[in-house]
């Protein structure tokens, strides 16, 4: 795909054709054509590629893609208006029914897949741990090490090969790309069937291999892939050609369904239906409305019903080694939470330290990802070698470290639960004699979900030693930094939760020896996890509800809200959230919710003057001119200007590139220059044909006679594009662009008259990115630094 660029900003080209001598520059499409005298605003920052980059670094000079935007705006041309007027009540009901049916199917399939992934991970990890512990108890330490490392090596190899060879975009969590897509950025090869299959199998293998990563981010991506495939009837040659699916052959409805999929993924990961809806609202969705709220809630409600069904089926160990398959992380509904006013000071300390640690984690991870980019750029073998090297390091650390801590005698109050042999539990015997347990092995030799359940356990203030928690916190910090970014499906939620929970337990142990703290150690672990997640991801409302639904205890709500607000405030003082950092590294043209303060000092008219002249078309245009414009530019939309009488011009609207290509392919040409009647276009074109985004014209061959004919563009022109006055500030334009999910914004002159052009220029999201603007206005760079 060509990069989504505006047709230049500046004055409208007076001549109808594309003449390279009239000031119309083509440099914005070709990185090699930027000559002397062209401002840096016109120069592309990114090189071309045929797909979305899987790299976490996409800065100037890196090999990444030019990515188009999505058409979320309704194109109100004559054909669209007729299509809506002619729809019967039955067709309207079909459309509404299909939207709710697809929302239900997204929730149903996401819940089923998430449950199967949970069960697969728990059972594969369980078999691995049982045999490894058996070898350790027989004092066959080297055999246990090689078995443990080899098992993890094979699983990591499978996950990495799938990502490197079959679906590179399936690596990582996928949440930044979903954020970009819902922001209006087309992310190619991100939501297809290969990505879905690789994400499912890769998540099972990667998490089961003991790598410090979670399945929560991949579950969000899986939900989005399911939503996209259902809305399109599949992909490739196996795509279902169902007539009803024509209603979803547009970016707007696909966006809404992918939002439902992302919400369902969060719900499946944390068994949190309301938290899933709020996660989509707070973290990933840019554009929201009440109807979308209802459908996302319906999807998450379906997910939680499916999860509850699996829990009931698996109750009593009927689903394998670990009973309920890790579907329940933490339940303290029967715990009475009591705290005094003085405890709020301690909770404040937890929030402040969590915010600092989260910001530090983001900073170091940023540097690690830049380093990994240099390695991954060397090819597939380098990516595979990096993933396997991290796996070997992880396996060695997880196996050896428990031997460094002494065994702890079981407290008689623990009863038969200590030590746990041959099953999941809080007290792993590992290398200890009967009646004793290894607390570090309890955390390290378990899945992330089981380790979280152990470290969150309440009523166990003396279960974990301080040195064991410090070792666990340190190793998970190191592994978390060096694991994220390798070529396997990975999530950040569980690693950060584990680090935060260990940090909370450490704080509780320190406070226990210095001041009288009445809060349970397990609850401090919950608060520490919430603080570190908020400090890194900068989530508040959705994270609060997720933890509330996980703990099933409303008494935790005040403290959780308090610590989340403090951690986010502290983290924001240092750097952006981790997902914003990844978006920036990937080079995705994401529009932030808040414009830069210096943008208030610049008008859209001034921004337009820094760009080449706009390429516009007439309402009735020559075929040769239309073909020349399409061949020599990569623009997605072109202003259409009408000249009703000599000396007077008016803006008729905006026509999309795909619609122009459809006209040329159908050869809907006129022998004379005239306006057509409404019925003439409706006889040749349907809404389904115009929804096709095929913009390739390389194989289009037109005869000399056809090139001299004319095309009437008025049936295809969007006559209600968003327009702004040239005196509007760029800051206000950015807010409007993001709020209504625009792809194009036309700039009108402040004064109208017969001799004045009806159009000053056109804006796209690329033009409104801060670093693009600063290249053309260096004096604003000083203001940006001061802010």
d(CA 17, CA 480) in angstroms, rounded, equals 56
Residue 31: exposed, middle, or buried by beta-carbon count in 10 A (0-12, 13-18, 19+)?
middle
Q: Phi/psi at 501 (nearest 5 deg)?
A: -65, -40
Whether 352 contacts 566, CB under 8 Å:
yes
**What is the spatial distance between Cα 246 and Cα 688, in angstroms, rounded to a whole number?**
7
Are 144 and 132 within 8 A, CB to CB? yes
Distance, in Å, from the CA atom of 77 to the CA atom of 713, rounded to the nearest integer, reads: 10
List strands edge to edge, sheet with 617-618: 617-618, 637-645, 648-656
Identify the structural domains of the chain with CATH numbers, from first to last.
104-316 (1.10.3080.10), 341-384+403-586 (1.10.3080.10), 597-784 (3.10.580.10)
> Which candidate, 340, 760, 681, places its Cα nearest to that of 518?
340
Instruction: Provide the CA 725 distance to its chain's centre, in angstroms.
Output: 33
Among 309-323, 430-444, 471-485, the minimum mean pLDDT is found in 309-323
Integer-rounded Cα Rg, in Å, for the chain is: 29
pLDDT value at 445 more than 80? yes
Mean pLDDT of 749-768: 82
* Mean pLDDT, rounded, for 504-523: 78
Pairing of strands 745-748, 648-656: unpaired
Helix intervals (H) in 515-597: 521-537, 541-551, 557-572, 578-586
Chain-centroid distance, C-alpha 39: 32
Residue percentage of the chain with pLDDT more than 90: 33
**What's the pLDDT band for 137 if we cut at 50, 70, 90?**
confident
Structural contact between residues 505 and 463, judged by C-beta atoms closer than 8 angstroms: no
Quick one: residue 379, left, alpha or beta (phi over 0 = left, psi -120 to 50 = alpha)? Answer: left
In this predicted structure, the answer to whether residue 20 has a pLDDT above a threshold of 60 is: no
Strand-strand pairing, 745-748 and 617-618: unpaired
Name the least confident of 516-520, 601-605, 663-667: 516-520
Pairing assessment for the beta strands 761-763 and 745-748 based on DSSP bridges: antiparallel
- If you average pLDDT over residues 653-676, what whole number do you get? 89
Q: Which residues contact 703 (CB under 8 A, 6 or more apart)?
A: none
pLDDT of residue 787: 52
Is the pLDDT confidence value at 259 over 90? yes
C-alpha span between 519 and 459 (Å, rounded): 10
Question: Within 13 Å and on the Cβ side, how many CA atoms surround 709?
Answer: 14
User: pLDDT tier at 386 (50, 70, 90 boundaries)?
Assistant: very high
Residues 6+ apart with CB under 8 A from 296: 103, 259, 260, 263, 276, 277, 280
Q: Is 595 helix (H, G, I), strand (E, B) or coil?
A: coil
Q: Is the pLDDT of residue 7 over 50?
A: no
The per-residue pLDDT of the chain, averaged, comes to 81
Residue 576: CB atoms within 10 A of its CB come to: 17
Tens-digit pLDDT profile for residues 23-79: 333 333 333 333 333 333 333 333 334 444 444 433 322 333 467 888 888 888 888
Q: Which residues partner with 701 through β-bridges?
A: none
The pLDDT of residue 465 = 86
| Helical residues (DSSP H) of 138-250, grouped into ranges | 141-161, 175-183, 193-208, 216-232
Whole-angstrom CA distances from 369 to 372, 382, 462 are 5, 15, 38
246: CB partners within 8 A, 6+ apart: 687, 688, 691
Torsion, Cα of 762, 766, 771, 775 (10° steps): -50
Rounded Cα gap, residues 51 and 32, in angstroms: 20
DSSP 13: P
According to the model, what pLDDT value does residue 782 have? 65
End-to-end Cα, the chain, rounded Å: 36
Q: Where are the beta strands (DSSP E) in 261-375?
A: none
User: Looking at residue 603, what DSSP letter applies?
Assistant: B
Top pLDDT among 557 and 482 is at 482
CA gap 428, 418 in Å, rounded: 8
Return the pLDDT at 55.
45
- Kind plus residue range of the DSSP H or E element containing 8: none
Mean local confidence (pLDDT), 509-521: 73
Q: How far apart are CA 164 and CA 219, in angstroms?
A: 19
Closest by Cα among 269, 268, 258 to 295: 258
Reported in sequence order, the residue ranges of 657-732 that DSSP labels E, i.e. its strands, are 710-712, 723-725
Mean pLDDT, range 549-567, rounded to an integer: 84
The tens digit of pLDDT for each residue in 216-236 reads: 889 999 999 999 999 887 665
The model's confidence at residue 336, banded by pLDDT at 50, 70 and 90, is low
In degrees to the nearest 10, what's the CA dihedral of 766, 770, 771, 775? 90
Rounded CA-CA distance 137/407 in Å is 14
Element (H, E) at 621: strand 620-622
Gap between the Cα atoms of 631 and 449, Å rounded: 54
Whether residue 656 has a cis bond before it, omega within 30° of 0: no
Query: Per-residue pLDDT for 256 more than 70?
Result: yes
| pLDDT of 784 over the 70 cut | no
- Cβ neighbours for 684, distance < 8 A, ≥ 6 positions apart: 666, 668
Q: What's 282's DSSP letter?
A: I
Mean of pLDDT values over 276-302: 90
Mean pLDDT of 415-436: 73
User: Contacts from 314-322 at CB under 8 Å and sequence distance 24+?
Assistant: 314/119, 319/119, 319/123, 320/119, 320/122, 320/123, 320/126, 321/122, 321/123, 321/126, 321/127, 321/130, 321/423, 321/424, 322/122, 322/123, 322/125, 322/126, 322/423, 322/424, 322/447, 322/450
């Amino acid at each position: 795909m060509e990069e989504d660029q505006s047709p230049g900003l500046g004055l409208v080209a007076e001549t109808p054709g594309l003449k390279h001598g009239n000031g119309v520059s083509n440099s914005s499409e070709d990185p090699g054509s930027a000559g002397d005298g062209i401002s840096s605003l016109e120069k592309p920052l990114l090189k071309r590629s045929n797909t979305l980059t899987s790299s976490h670094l996409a800065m100037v000079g890196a090999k990444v893609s030019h990515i188009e935007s999505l058409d979320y705006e309704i194109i109100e041309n004559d054909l669209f208006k007729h299509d809506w007027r002619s729809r019967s009540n039955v067709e309207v009901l079909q459309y509404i029914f299909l939207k709710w049916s697809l929302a239900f199917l997204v929730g149903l399939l996401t819940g089923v897949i998430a449950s199967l992934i949970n069960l697969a991970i728990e059972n594969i990890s369980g078999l691995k741990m049982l045999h490894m512990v058996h070898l350790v108890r027989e004092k066959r330490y080297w055999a246990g090490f090689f078995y443990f490392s080899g098992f993890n090596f094979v699983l990591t190899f499978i996950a990495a090969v799938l990502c490197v060879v079959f679906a590179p975009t399936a690596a990582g969590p996928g949440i930044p790309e979903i954020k970009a897509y819902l922001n209006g950025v087309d992310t190619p090869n991100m939501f297809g069937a290969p990505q879905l299959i690789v994400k499912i199998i890769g998540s099972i293998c990667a998490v089961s291999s003991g790598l410090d990563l979670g399945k929560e981010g991949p579950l969000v991506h899986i939900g989005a892939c399911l939503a996209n495939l259902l809305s399109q009837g599949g992909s490739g040659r196996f795509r279902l050609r169902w007539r009803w699916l024509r209603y979803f052959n547009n970016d707007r409805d696909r966006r809404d369904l992918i939002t439902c999929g992302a919400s369902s993924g969060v719900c499946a990961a944390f068994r949190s239906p309301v938290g899933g809806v709020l996660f989509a609202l707070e973290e990933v969705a840019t554009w929201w409305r009440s109807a979308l709220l209802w459908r996302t809630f319906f999807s998450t409600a379906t997910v939680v019903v499916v999860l509850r069904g699996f829990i009931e089926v698996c109750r009593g160990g009927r689903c394998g080694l670990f009973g309920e398959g890790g579907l329940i992380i933490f339940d303290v509904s029967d715990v009475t939470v009591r705290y005094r006013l003085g405890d709020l000071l301690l909770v404040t300390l937890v929030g402040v330290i969590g915010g600092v640690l989260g910001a530090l984690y983001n900073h170091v991870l940023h540097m690690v990802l830049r380093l990994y980019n240099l390695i991954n750029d060397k090819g597939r073998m380098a990516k595979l070698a990096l993933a396997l090297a991290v796996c070997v390091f992880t396996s060695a650390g997880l196996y050896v470290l428990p031997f460094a801590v002494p065994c702890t005698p079981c407290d008689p109050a623990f009863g038969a639960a200590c030590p746990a042999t041959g099953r999941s539990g809080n007290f792993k015997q590992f290398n200890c004699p009967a009646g004793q347990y290894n607390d570090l092995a309890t955390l390290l030799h378990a899945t992330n979900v089981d380790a979280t359940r152990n470290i969150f356990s309440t009523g166990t203030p003396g279960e974990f030693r301080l040195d064991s928690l410090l070792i666990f916190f340190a190793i998970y910090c190191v592994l978390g930094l060096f694991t994220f970014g390798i070529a396997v499906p990975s999530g950040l939620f569980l690693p950060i939760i584990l680090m935060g929970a260990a940090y909370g337990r450490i704080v509780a142990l320190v406070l226990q020896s210095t001041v009288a703290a009445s809060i349970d150690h397990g609850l401090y672990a919950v608060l520490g996890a919430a603080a570190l997640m908020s400090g890194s991801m900068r989530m508040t409302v959705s994270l609060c509800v997720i933890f509330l639904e996980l703990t099933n205890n409303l008494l935790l709500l005040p403290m959780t809200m308090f610590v989340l607000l403090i951690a986010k405030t502290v983290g924001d003082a240092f750097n952006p959230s981790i997902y914003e950092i990844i978006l920036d590294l990937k080079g995705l043209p994401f529009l932030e919710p808040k414009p830069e303060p210096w943008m208030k000092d610049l008008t859209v008219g001034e921004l337009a003057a820094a760009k080449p002249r706009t390429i516009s078309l007439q309402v009735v245009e020559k075929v040769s001119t239309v073909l020349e414009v399409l061949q020599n530019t990569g623009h997605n939309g072109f202003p259409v200007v009408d000249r009703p009488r000599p000396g007077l011009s008016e803006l008729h609207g905006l026509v999309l590139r795909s619609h122009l290509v459809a006209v040329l392919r159908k050869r809907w040409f006129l022998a004379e220059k005239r306006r057509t009647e409404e019925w003439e276009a409706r006889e040749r074109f349907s809404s389904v044909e115009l929804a096709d985004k095929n913009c390739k014209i390389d194989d289009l061959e037109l005869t000399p006679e056809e090139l001299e004919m004319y095309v009437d563009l008025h049936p295809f022109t969007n006559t209600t594009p968003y327009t702004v006055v040239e005196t509007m500030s760029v800051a206000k334009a950015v807010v409007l662009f993001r709020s209504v999910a625009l792809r194009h914004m036309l700039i009108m002159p402040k004064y109208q008259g017969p001799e004045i052009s009806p159009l000053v220029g056109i804006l796209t999201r690329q033009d409104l990115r801060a670093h693009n603007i600063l290249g053309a206005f260096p004096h604003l760079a000083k203001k940006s630094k001061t802010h």
